[in-house]
Amino acid sequence: MRLEYIYPSALLAPLALGCGPHPDHAASLDIPNLITANNLARLNGTTLHKKIALNNVRVFDGTCILPPSTIVIDGPFIGTDATGAEHVDGKGGVLLPGLIDAHCHPTNITHMQELAKWGVTSAFVMACFSQELCSSLSNHTGLPSVLRSSVPASAPGSAHGNISIAATRDPSILINGTGAVPGWINRQLAGQDLDYFKLVAEAPGLDQATLNLLVSEAHHHGKQSVTHAATFEAYTQATLSRTDHVHHAPLDTVIPLALAHKMLQQGQMSTPTLTMMRAIALAGTSTAGANFTAALATTSLLHKSGVTMLAGTDANLQPGVPAMVPFGSSLHDELQNLVDAGMSPLEALLAATVKPARAFGLWDRGTIQAGMRADLVLVGGDPLADIGNTRDIKRVWIGGVEVGRGQ
């Protein structure tokens, strides 16, 4: 059985995509074989924990870069006692918490290895059409931790509704009005360990009342909601719904200051995925009228207004998407894009470490402290002086296991 994405172009409205296949192409994922291969990779993995005293490293503590010191990696955690440890010279490099991609779409072990190679130690998967496939990416030694979404909540006749039907071959997965919401929520929760609900704001798409109820029901079940919004109209709808997270930035026009202030007042967070928005605009063939300048300006406005910003890439190498974004290296592109939008290098680093960790309740990562997960990235240069120095990766540990960069 293959998962096929095939759409006539009339089914997809301009600027409604963000993430999702382009209508003029066909693409497929062999879901059963991917699940098997991913699970076999887990079974064949070996635990390579060592007690390591990482000497002569300058730790980024969330506010500044400290003088050279020693950090102990004790199994999967950061320890305090270097007794019996193997000593490793960090050569004065800067030690960062593991990076977090708050919006990506890995499907196989190669994608996960690329994330790890580039220092991404946690990945938030933003569309689980197959929970079995998303689960097969979890719990791999030396590969990123994975958080998983629901099937994206979308309406019949919408761009993402068509994607959902193609992915699941099941029209009943769509939501036709408020009456369908409770059943859809319960269906997503049944026997599945999803971490948050993925919702879609687009036109045509879910009406405001339905989107509002989806957010309310997600909260009732103790889950956060993440809402796709790639246009001004969708961004307004997502804000009014009180969703926890608004993902992407409008490619048609800059949002008004009042909307940014409303997001701040409601405690909503933004993951603008500027790397994908730039790629869509540069592609020039998939989305008429795409304007990256608008996305960049909206991001700047949100940041200046005090809205919490998270770093996410929309990394996706599925043939047929509006634009492909590579795994791992794209998070470093996103950090640069956030700086271009007016964030300082310090603020950009926080958007890729402690802020997404806290936003999603991951209290065991995001900072370098005793007792935290040993998710660590050693870089050669000072990223507070130049955010581009995050690319100068020397070594990476995920859960205390060193990642081989293959270079």
Other beta carbons within 10 angstroms of residue 376's beta carbon come to: 27
Confidence of residue 28 (pLDDT cuts 50, 70, 90): low
Q: In the block, which residue shows the tokens 């590969």?
A: 143
Residue 14 has pLDDT above 50, yes or no: no
User: Do the Cβ atoms of 107 and 34 come closer than 8 Å?
Assistant: yes
Q: Report whether the peptide linkage leading into residue 68 is cis, meaning its omega lies within 30 degrees of zero.
A: no
Q: Picking from 108-112, 165-169, 266-270, which range would have the lowest pLDDT averaged per residue?
A: 165-169
Give me the pLDDT at residue 368, please.
98
User: Do the Cβ atoms of 309 and 270 come closer than 8 Å?
Assistant: yes
**46-95+368-403 homologous superfamily:** Urease, subunit C, domain 1 (2.30.40.10)
**Mean pLDDT of the chain, nearest integer:** 91
Give me the pLDDT at residue 358, please.
98
Residue 46, classified by CB atoms within 10 Å of its CB into exposed (0-12), middle (13-18) or buried (19+), is exposed
Confidence of residue 15 (pLDDT cuts 50, 70, 90): very low
Q: Which of 6-15, 89-98, 312-321 has the highest mean pLDDT?
A: 89-98
The Cα-based distances of 26 to 23, 29, 43, 317, 321 in angstroms read 8, 11, 33, 13, 10
Residue 13 has pLDDT above 60, yes or no: no
Q: What span, in angstroms and rounded, lies between the C-alpha atoms of 23 and 11?
A: 8
Confidence of residue 30 (pLDDT cuts 50, 70, 90): confident
pTM: 0.93
Q: What span, in angstroms and rounded, lies between the C-alpha atoms of 120 and 18?
A: 22
Q: Picking from 20-24, 112-116, 159-163, 374-378, which range would have the lowest pLDDT averaged per residue?
A: 20-24
Residue 98 has pLDDT above 50, yes or no: yes
- Pairing mode, if any, of strands 401-403 and 393-398? antiparallel
* b/e code 134-163 from CB counts within 10 Å (16+ = b): bbbbbebbbbbbbbbbbbbbbbeebbbbbb
Mean of the pLDDT values across residues 184-203?
A: 94
Question: How does pLDDT run across 287-339, given as a tens digit for each residue?
Answer: 556 899 999 999 999 999 999 999 999 999 987 778 999 999 999 999 999 99
Residue 84, classified by CB atoms within 10 Å of its CB into exposed (0-12), middle (13-18) or buried (19+), is exposed
| 5 or 266, which is more confident | 266
Confidence of residue 11 (pLDDT cuts 50, 70, 90): very low
Question: How does pLDDT run across 217-261, given as a tens digit for each residue?
Answer: 999 999 999 999 999 999 999 999 999 999 999 999 999 999 999
The one-letter amino acid at 79: G
Structure tokens, 301? 């406005």
Q: Picking from 128-132, 178-182, 210-214, which range would have the lowest pLDDT averaged per residue?
A: 128-132
Listed by start position, the domains of the chain span: 3-11+99-359, 46-95+368-403
Q: Give Dmax (Cα) for the chain.
A: 66
Other beta carbons within 10 angstroms of residue 186's beta carbon come to: 11
- What class is the 3-11+99-359 domain? alpha beta
Give me the pLDDT at residue 23, please.
37
Give me the pLDDT at residue 344, please.
98
